[in-house]
Structures are given as structure tokens and as C-alpha cells.
Structure 1
């Protein structure tokens, strides 16, 4: 892609998210979401592959549906209350409709069906943008409107997302679909605690962004898109293979890695709110996700590929791609648990 065009598209992505962050008016927030969507569509379709075009079409139709729902709900709320202010969401039907539309935008269950299919059709860097940056603006709007929504709706979204994110990833052979279901499960953890401790939602979002960025950049450097190709990654870079296994375990939430911190604090908060059953279901759903992360670790570190491997055997070559972001994200994804008290003081 032409670097000038790429610069314009990336700037538009930043502009759309910033506009949504800074707005207190529903029309401006809707405009920021639309700028975001229109900026990422050319990035998704840049390879002109039928699979990429199909994924782009599915994404565009899904986002257009969600945007129409947001516009309709905000117009309904403005008609009833007389203003477009986000903090004046007195109509419960409009509030529920807006949160449902935003859940469709970020791929929360049961509106998650587009997420694995779209991510599977993209290259890894565009998939990274879709899994991280594109979640920021809708989550900000959910944070601002969560207090006007029925808590049962948010709890249902959170529980369904963690369960479906865990079950859906169990039988996948494509790494991008595994990461898509991982995204759905992590979004469930963020939504479930949103009404009780929004700062924990932000903490979970930040740690998820670091861990997922490390995973996507590792797969980009390794040129791995299937579970079967992970068995030959060790011959290209043994150290990268070891750190990738730890990043996957961190995504699963195992101590003493960074990914354990948000899950631990969220379960603690749910227990404080007298929701032991919800906390138990969330912890059991985390075991489902941990299982498919362990599958990937097993394929990477404990198996030797057969002699007739379906993938091209990678030899140990000089990595020409930028690895400084990968090193930074991997370090953060592995080593932040000891400073949990400091982080919790900063976010509370």
C-alpha cells in the first residue's frame, strides 16, 4: 500500500477513536465510530484476496448495522429527554439498545458470530488492529452508559462471552480464529466487572492489549497461521518459541504471569459484591480458555513435526522485521504481576 494512503488511513483511525473519546454528544460519538470503520475497511481489503474481501464485507455490514442501531437509539433518547447528552440516558429501552449495538461492534456474545470469520480473512497486522484498537472507542461508550443499563444485561453478556469464547476455541485449527475466540472471552471478563469497578475493566483491557499484541507479532514474525505449523517454529527461533509459550499461558491467566492479575482482581471484586456463583462460573470458563492455550503451547514446545510436514520448514534465518515492539509487549505480558499493588493503586 502507498505509504501516504497508509498514513491517511492510520491517522483517520486515530482521529475516529479520539473523537469518540472526547465527545459527550451522541452524534459526535457516532461520527467517530463511523470514521473508525471507514478507515479500517481499505486496510482489510488491501490484499485483494477473495477471503479478505469477504471478511471486509462481513465486517462492514456488521458495523453498519450496529451504527444504525446506535443512531436510532440515541435519536429515540433525544426525542424523549430533549437532549443528545450521553450522561442523560433516562430511557431504559434506548440504553439497552445502545449497549447491545456496542456489544455487536466489539464482538460480545451472542453477537460474536462475525468476529472469528472476519479475523480469519485478514492478515495478522490488520487483525491486531481489529482486536485491539477497534475495541477502544465502543468500550469507552459502554463505560459511559453502563450505569443507565440493567445490570442483568451486562452480566448476561459477560457470562455468555466467557463461556462461548472458551467453548468456541476448543476445536479450532486456525490460529486467527483461536485469537478471535480469545478476544471474545477477554471482552466478557471486562464487561462482567464494568458495573462494579470500571477501573478493573480498563486494567483488563490494557493487559489484554499487551498480551494480544505480543501474540500477533510473534505469529507475524513466525509466519504461522495454523496450529500444525507451530511445531516447526522452534527451528527458526527457539527463544521466540519459549517466550511465545509463556505469552499464551499469560493469556490463559496462569500465575506468575501478567494475565493472572486482571482475572484475580475481577474474581475478587465479584466475591466482594456477593456474587460467588458468577465468580465460580467465570473461573470455570477461564479453564476452557486455558485448555486451548495449552494446546498451542503443546504444539509449539512439546511436539516434533513429522518428516512430511504440510508446512514449509523454516530454517533459522535472520529476522528482518522490527522486533522491538514484540520485545516490549512480551516483557509487559510476562512480568507485571509483582507490581500488581502499584498498578491497582494507580487505577483506583
Structure 2
């Protein structure tokens, strides 16, 4: 993953920026950690073999700098209003802080930069952007809960994340809109408890890693490339298909478990209308996951019995088998452990 030592140093700095943010006792310290995280991720994004990496780096830098400036301005303004005793302006600045953090994490309706930046990144950097880069903004977001505003954000993320992926042929943009959809579920879990969204985030990170490990291993970037791969090997076909269904949250795969927990929490909060919208539009994400494998499973094609393009004893292939097995059987494993202990 890190071909040069300086990239490894930047990655360590990126992690330390996140740790500074989540362990800070002041908003200024949190802002400083976000800036360290931003400036260390820019060099990791640069790739001389990808012409879109420079454009993606510039878009990411401008968007994150804008969000950081809004966050710093809103925090200063919030403390000024607190000293003056203006409750209305305190609520207004609270919305500004939440909006800046949502812009940093790529949540809808502040998602305009996220798919285009993902398109210019490698799969390794895409995984970092989809998972690690969301930790610090989401934890800061949990400090300033606003239930009515969060409901609007959840509906926006679910709608845009589901409908935005319908016309996509790029797998990176498809994963970007999937990430926006999952972000809506995380915010919905945050309305109930902090542990709930953290549990969802851990499951989502593992499932995203499983999918991107397969994409990166077989150098897949578009849906058309997947058709040729599926026609050459049936085992990879099932690995990819089942992992995508698990990421979509289809029972009985492991991806359904965090959604199950959030569904229960929303039922306890009597948010049945929001829950209905979330479940209905999440089914659309399952539709474009199934569309990826549609030709491989339902269309006739010629397949030679002696075609062995993939080395079954390869370490990456063996790891993909392990990750996929955990992904598709994790729900049974968790239930068994819960029953056992």
C-alpha cells in the first residue's frame, strides 16, 4: 500500500490528526486535528499514474478548507452568543457547526464533492476516504445533537445515496453513493446513542474493506470490466455478489445486523415514518448491487472447463475467501456467540 516511506509517514500523521481531534477537550484542538488530518491526506491522494488525482486533490482541499473555515467561524460565533445570552443565535451557530462537519464527512445534501473526488482516487485511498476520514467529523457531530436537523440529514442521505447510484457505471462513484446511504443510517443511529453508530461504522468499514479488497485485487473500476471477470471464473462471481449483498444489508448476511439494531432503536423512538423511508430507499441500493452481477448470473455465456485464470493458492485470493466468509456468515456467528455467552 505504501510504496515510499514518506507516504507511510503521511499516513501516520493522518491517523494522529484523527486521534488529536477525538481526544481534544476544546473545539480549537479538534479543529487543529482536522487540519493535520487534511494536510496529511493530500499527499496520499497524489498519483502520477492517474490524471484525475490532481483534480481530486484540489477539490478535496478546497472543500475541506471551506468546511474548516465555517467550523472555526461558527465555534467562535457560538461562544460570543453564549456570553451575550442569545439563545436563538446559539441554535443557529449549532446548525452551522453540524453543517460544516457534515460537509467534511460527505453527507447529503453537502455531498457535491464526494463522488467526483472518489472517481480520481485509487482503491486504497478510496477506502481511507470512505472509512477513516469519517471518524473525526462523526464523533464531533455526536457532541452537538439536533434531532430535527438530523432527521432532515438522514432523509437526504437515504434519498440521494439510493437514487444517485442508479445511473452510475463507475464502481468508485457507486461506492461513493453507497457510502452516502450508509452515512444516513449512521446519523440515524447517532440520534439514539453513540455506541449504536460506532457499531454500524465498524461493520460498514469491514464490509467496505472486503469489497474494495476484491476490486483492487482484480483491478476493477467499471461495471463493464466485471462482466468479463465473471465470465472467466464462477467462484469470484459468488464472492463479489455475496459481499455486495452483505454491504447492502440483505438478511441473513452480516451487513443486516447493524441495520437491525438501528431499526429496533427507531421503533423504540416511535419514528415509524422515517424508518419506512429508510428501509424502502435502501432497497434501491440493493437493486444497483444486483445489477452489477445481473449479466453474470442470468445471461447465458460460454465457459470453458479448463479456464484457470486465477491462482487459487494466491495469498490475496485466500484472504478474499476469508473476508467473504465472515461477511456472509457473520450474522450467524454473532447470534451464536450471543447465545453461547
TM-score by length of 1: 0.87
Q: 1:258 to 1:70 in 2, by over 3 A?
A: same
1:212 paired residue number: 208
Pair 163,3 (structure 1): closer, same or farther in 2 beyond 3 Å: same
CA distance in 1, matches of 2:112, 2:302: 34
Please give the residue correspondences for 1:243-322 in structure 2 after superposition, counting only pairs within 5 Å. 243-303=239-299, 315-317=309-311, 322=316
Contact 2:130/2:179 (CA < 8 Å) preserved in 1?
yes
| 1:202 aligns to 2:198 (yes or no) | yes
Provide the residue aligned with 2:105 in structure 1. Answer: 106
Task: State which drifts further: 237-246 or 110-119.
Answer: 237-246
Matched, 1:141 2:140: yes
Q: Distance in 2 between matches of 1:93 and 1:73?
A: 9
Query: After superposition, where does 1:1-348 map in structure 2 within 5 Å?
Result: 3-47=4-48, 49-81=50-82, 91-146=90-145, 149=146, 151-234=147-230, 237-303=233-299, 315-317=309-311, 322=316, 326-340=320-334
Question: Residues 221 and 321 of structure 1 are in contact (CA less than 8 Å); yes or no, is this contact kept in structure 2?
Answer: no
Q: Distance in 2 between matches of 1:66 and 1:131?
A: 17
Q: Distance in 1 between matches of 2:337 and 2:186?
A: 17
User: Where does the alignment leave 5 or more consecutive residues of structure 2 unmatched?
Assistant: 84-88
Distance 1:110 1:193, change over 3 A: same
Task: Give the Å deviation of 1:242.
Answer: 1.1
**Distance of 2:233 and 2:191 partners within structure 1:** 44
Number of equivalences: 330
**Normalization by structure 2: what TM-score?**
0.89
What is the alpha-carbon distance in structure 2 between the residues aligned to residue 160 and residue 314 of structure 1? Answer: 45
Worse-superposed segment, 48-57 or 124-133: 48-57
Quote the Cα distance in structure 1 between the aligned partners of 2:70 and 2:338. Answer: 36
Closer, same or farther: CA 143–328 of 1 in aligned 2, 3 Å: farther
Q: What is the Cα-based RMSD across aligned positions, in Å?
A: 2.6
**1:183/1:197 CA distance change after superposition, 3 Å:** same
Tell me how far apart the structure 2 counterparts of residues 5 and 237 of structure 1 sit (CA, whole Å).
Answer: 38
- Identify if the C-alpha distance between structure 1 residues 5 and 131 changes in structure 2 by more than 3 Å, giving closer, same or farther: same
Q: What residue in structure 2 maps to residue 310 of structure 1?
A: none
Structure 1 residues 40 and 58, CA gap change in structure 2 (3 angstroms): same
Distance 1:24 1:251, change over 3 A: same
**Distance in 2 separating the partners of 1:344 and 1:20:** 34
Could you report, residue by residue, the CA deviation over 1:194-227 in whole angstroms, capped at 9, with x for unpaired residues?
Answer: 1223222111111110111111110001111110
Q: Tell me which moved more, 73-82 or 224-233.
A: 73-82
State whether residues 18 and 32 of structure 1, in contact with CA within 8 Å, keep that contact through their aligned partners in structure 2. yes
Q: Tell whether the 8 Å contact from 1:19 to 1:28 is kept in structure 2 after alignment.
A: yes
Q: CA deviation at 1:318?
A: 7.0
Measured in 2, the distance between the counterparts of 1:104 and 1:175 equals 22
Equivalent residue number for residue 87 of structure 1: none
CA 1:71/1:249 → structure 2, altered by over 3 Å: closer, same or farther? same
* 1:300 Cα offset (Å): 4.3
5+ unaligned residues in a row in structure 1: which ranges? Answer: 83-89, 308-312
| Deviation of the 1:81 alpha carbon | 3.7
Flag the 1:336–1:73 CA change in 2: closer, same or farther, 3 A: same
Mapped partners of 1:41, 1:319: distance in 2: 36
Q: How far apart are residue 120 of structure 1 and its match?
A: 0.7
